[in-house]
Structure 1
Amino acid sequence: MQRIFILWGLCLLTTAANAAYPSLQPLIEKAEPNSTLLIPPGTYAGPVMLDFPITLDGQNQVIIDGGGEESVIYIDTDGAQVRNLHLTNSGDSHNDLDSCVQVRGNFNIIKDNILDNCLFGVDLQQSNSNIVRRNKISSLDVELGLRGDAVRLWYSKNNKITHNEITDSRDTVVWYSEGNQITHNSATRGRYSLHFMYSRYNLVEHNNYYNNAVGIFLMYSDDVVVRHNSISHAAGVTGMGIGFKESSNVTVAHNKLLYNAVGIYLDVSPYQPDTINQIHHNKIAYNGIAIQFHNDWTGNVLKKNVFQGNLLQVSVHGAFTAKRNVWQGNYWDDYQGFDRDQDGIGDTPYELYAYADRIWMDKPHAQFFKGSPVLEVLDFLERLAPFTEPALVLRDSKPVMQLNTIKDDDVDNKAKLTAKGIEGQ
């Protein structure tokens, strides 16, 4: 209760400062619990406190202006709804997590709103079973690193973040949170489209992430399912489609990873003993590097993926080989074998060797020349007449000859979700 009184005091102070518009709070205080308040059209002053279950419906004709101070709406209850509103102009304090909507409760719904000119979009902290759906979210007009996150989950479980359109925010973050669904969202011109930290049993599906610094990054996060997403044009110096850092039992399937600096980056993953990362049925095309390993690691199974138009198919920093992982049944556009028995599988294995083109991996300053005619000539000469024995990077024993022979299956759609709370929601 003390926390509620403090927030209510902040509301009164900020409303006085934002006196250009009438306060919405008196209308809320007159409403009955579990009722629907159809707000008369117009612009109202924030912040607004919801400390009992109520539905606020702006009917797409209501603006709530935070006046540049604090969060615009605080939800400190269970079972509230905020819909069809335009929420704008929060404060800029990262310490206070100034947001368009700050949630500290369960079973709340935030949907069909425009959330702009706020530091954070929707902040959920120790809040479970909420829905954030069909919102248009953007941050303050400041440089990328100073923006807030579009959606932030902190110690929050079983939430659904779906069908949101995110532009010009920093990240969407899921930290210390499990059992969440992040589906059918789009994000562009951000830093991390989606960032996991110590978060297990989450589902990421049917999202479109375009022109962000990084697509999806998993740090210390196990049992995550990432499928049917499109991630493209993460093309900066550290750009990558999907990144792993010490993450285990992850399924990456049926995704499109296009025009990124790195398609998939793996750093000590899987990390837990006796675990496997499944990477299958992905189209990994037109990237600088399709798959990049931070070191010689094991435990990844890569099957039935399409490798097409990449400058480099696979690279390994600090070591020559990625052959301790399983490579099988992938399509490689640089495969030079034949299929004399017409079974759709190459007669000889696909083998990738490291020649002079690994100079840029051993000497970081040489990365400036990656893909240049100089390194291409060196690589050609090394293949023509090797100065040293080339190192085998990987061997795919059953390379697929034609793209149309790799067909989707239901492997990742049937009882393969180890994630708690994903099915049946």
Structure 2
Amino acid sequence: MRTLSKLGKATLATALMLAFSVGNTQQERGSNADLSTAPRVGIDRPKQTFMLHERDKRVHGLKPFQELVDNAPAGSVLKPPPGIYAGPVVIDKPLTIDGGDQVTIDSGDKGTVMILNASNSVLRGLHLTGSGDSHDTDDSCLDVRGNHNVIENIKADNCLFGLDFKQSNHNLIRGNEIRSKAFELGVRGDGLRLWYSNDNIVEKNRIIDSRDMVAWYSHRNIFRDNLGRRSRYSIHFMFANDNSVERNQFYDNAVGVYFMYTEGGTVRNNVISHATGATGMGIGFKEASGTLIENNEIIYCGIGIGSDLSPFQPDSSIEIRGNRFAYNGIGILFNSETGGNNLLGNTFEGNLTQVGYGGHGDNNNSPKNVWIGNFWDDYQGFDRDGDGVGDRTHELHAYADQIWMEMPVARFFRSSPVMELLDFLERLAPFSTPDLILRDEKPLFNKPQRLAQS
């Protein structure tokens, strides 16, 4: 009995030490930890193996590309003869593969076409096509699990996911063209996905008819000079800090750029157009902080900028300056007034509603956001001294439009004759004190010249 008691005490002590150790490890590797040097964890469901007879007949009789990869020495340059090859392909050593835009690898509509489990490699000029359609195994054209790789001029089509990067850092992703399978929007895979992947450069890619371009738990990535069309989210950041979005063109997507639970980040010199539909939004925030939105064209969207509980962190701000909000349903919509948004030198023209609030605080006539030096096409004032600044303060009040702001179901009737009549009567003889939406002490009198091209 004494032996068992000692053994039990030793076991208990060991368990407590292990629990304490695990707790410390989790604390050290929290949301702010740098996981770039951490060992990769096998979190993926193993890729399923398919026999040749299970794949589409179009790949029967094709030469397997895997044979060329297996015969190439590590660190060598592989320039395969032009033609169509059968996938799948697994690369587990550094290689440079240059297809010269004349090599197609087809996986026959099963599994993932190509997997790169190596660093310091180059994949260039390949056409990858024919993945499976399983979301469980992330069937894609290209899976990358490595660092310091160059992925350029890849044409990826007829794949569930396009390019999928997990725990992959310092990669260059350039000049690729990505299209999804012809599925309904919600069940397509992501055109480009970064997951726990930091310090990558994503530039000059064309992502069309896909679902999303996403960066989850991925920091300090640069997205520039990309084109996104007819997808859901042009870029969706979640728990992803200090990412940069510059000089991109996003057309006909449901949402342009969305920041969810993020800190930092820059959106500069982009064109975001025709984000329409029930959820149409140029740029969105959900509990995000510390972001700079500068010199963007946000035009013909349901909502130019939509903000929910942002900025979220205490004593943080979101800077919105030098942007053009034109011909949107609502220029900017704040679903809550937390304050901390600084709006400087923006242009508001042709919007059905310039600025709206989904909800106000207790003191409705003391807006918490800062508005200075913006241009308003509905400004009612003069510039007698010719200094370019309006002589009187620009104030925006909510009259009958407060009905649809507080009752989303009433938005269907916005701009209808009944709502316009109610708004006219409210302004003529208000029977209640209107809500003050904003006050711009120094409104610009002349519309600034735009540099971004729309």
TM-score by length of 1: 0.92
Which of 183, 188, 202 is the aligned partner of 2:229? 188
Matched, 1:116 2:160: no
Query: In structure 2, what is the equivalent of residue 10 of structure 1?
Result: 49
Alignment of 1:23-422 (within 5 A): 23-319=64-360, 323-404=367-448
What is the CA-CA distance between 1:34 and the residue it aligns to? 1.3
Gap change, CA 1:21 and 1:321, over 3 Å in 2: farther
Give, in whole Å, the separation in 1 of the partners of 2:381 and 2:84: 68
Q: Is the 8 A contact 1:304 1:406 kept in 2?
A: no
Gap change, CA 1:212 and 1:105, over 3 Å in 2: same
Give, in whole Å, the separation in 2 of the partners of 1:405 and 1:56: 47
Gap change, CA 1:9 and 1:243, over 3 Å in 2: closer
| Code of the aligned partner of 2:102 | Q
What is the CA-CA distance between 1:16 and the residue it aligns to? 8.1
Q: Is the 8 A contact 1:48 1:74 kept in 2?
A: yes
| Code of the aligned partner of 1:401 | F
Give, in whole Å, the separation in 2 of the partners of 1:142 and 1:322: 48
Query: What count of residue pairs does the alignment treat as equivalent?
Result: 405
Question: Which is worse superposed, 353-362 or 169-178?
Answer: 353-362
What is the CA-CA distance between 1:179 and the residue it aligns to? 1.1
Give, in whole Å, the separation in 2 of the partners of 1:103 and 1:405: 43
Question: Which is worse superposed, 322-331 or 187-196?
Answer: 322-331
Larger radius of gyration: 2
| Code of the aligned partner of 1:357 | D
Q: Is the 8 A contact 2:46 2:137 kept in 1?
A: no
Give CA deviations for 1:47-89 in whole Å, capped at 9, x if unaligned: 1111001111111111100111111110001011111111101
Gap change, CA 1:147 and 1:137, over 3 Å in 2: same
| Code of the aligned partner of 1:131 | L
SS of 2:85's equivalent in the other structure is: strand
What is the CA-CA distance between 1:296 and the residue it aligns to? 2.0
Give CA deviations for 1:312-338 in whole Å, capped at 9, x if unaligned: 011111225682100000000000011
Query: In structure 1, what is the equivalent of residue 30 of structure 2?
Result: none
Q: Is the 8 A contact 1:263 1:284 kept in 2?
A: yes
Give CA deviations for 1:137-159 in whole Å, capped at 9, x if unaligned: 00011100000001000000111
Gap change, CA 1:321 and 1:81, over 3 Å in 2: farther
Gap change, CA 1:33 and 1:310, over 3 Å in 2: same
Gap change, CA 1:195 and 1:8, over 3 Å in 2: closer
Gap change, CA 1:25 and 1:15, over 3 Å in 2: farther
What is the CA-CA distance between 1:9 and the residue it aligns to? 8.7
Q: Is the 8 A contact 2:48 2:111 kept in 1?
A: no
| Code of the aligned partner of 1:374 | V
Which of 52, 60, 63 is the aligned partner of 1:22? 63
What is the CA-CA distance between 1:362 and the residue it aligns to? 2.5
| Code of the aligned partner of 1:10 | T
* Structure 2, unpaired ranges of 5+: 1-39
Give, in whole Å, the separation in 1 of the partners of 2:336 and 2:245: 26
What is the CA-CA distance between 1:235 and the residue it aligns to? 0.9
Give, in whole Å, the separation in 1 of the partners of 2:305 and 2:431: 31
What is the CA-CA distance between 1:366 and the residue it aligns to? 1.6
Gap change, CA 1:64 and 1:255, over 3 Å in 2: same
What is the CA-CA distance between 1:15 and the residue it aligns to? 8.9
SS of 1:401's equivalent in the other structure is: coil
- Identify the structure with bigger relative contact order (alpha carbons < 8 Å, sequence gap 6+): 1
| Code of the aligned partner of 1:33 | A
Gap change, CA 1:321 and 1:194, over 3 Å in 2: farther
What is the CA-CA distance between 1:118 and the residue it aligns to? 0.5
Give, in whole Å, the separation in 1 of the partners of 2:183 and 2:292: 36
Give, in whole Å, the separation in 2 of the partners of 1:206 and 1:15: 46
Gap change, CA 1:191 and 1:263, over 3 Å in 2: same
Give, in whole Å, the separation in 2 of the partners of 1:9 and 1:245: 37
Q: Is the 8 A contact 1:400 1:406 kept in 2?
A: no
Give, in whole Å, the separation in 2 of the partners of 1:121 and 1:265: 28
What is the CA-CA distance between 1:297 and the residue it aligns to? 1.8
What is the CA-CA distance between 1:8 and the residue it aligns to? 9.5
SS of 1:153's equivalent in the other structure is: strand
What is the CA-CA distance between 1:365 and the residue it aligns to? 2.6
What is the CA-CA distance between 1:406 and the residue it aligns to? 8.3
SS of 2:385's equivalent in the other structure is: coil
TM-score by length of 2: 0.86
SS of 1:95's equivalent in the other structure is: coil
Gap change, CA 1:342 and 1:282, over 3 Å in 2: same
Give, in whole Å, the separation in 2 of the partners of 1:128 and 1:136: 21
| Code of the aligned partner of 1:162 | E
SS of 2:391's equivalent in the other structure is: coil
Query: In structure 2, what is the equivalent of residue 423 of structure 1?
Result: none
| Code of the aligned partner of 2:253 | N
| Code of the aligned partner of 1:339 | D
Q: Is the 8 A contact 1:293 1:322 kept in 2?
A: no
Q: Is the 8 A contact 1:316 1:322 kept in 2?
A: no
SS of 2:49's equivalent in the other structure is: helix
| Code of the aligned partner of 1:85 | L
SS of 1:59's equivalent in the other structure is: strand
Give CA deviations for 1:239-278 in whole Å, capped at 9, x if unaligned: 1000001111100001110000000011111111111111
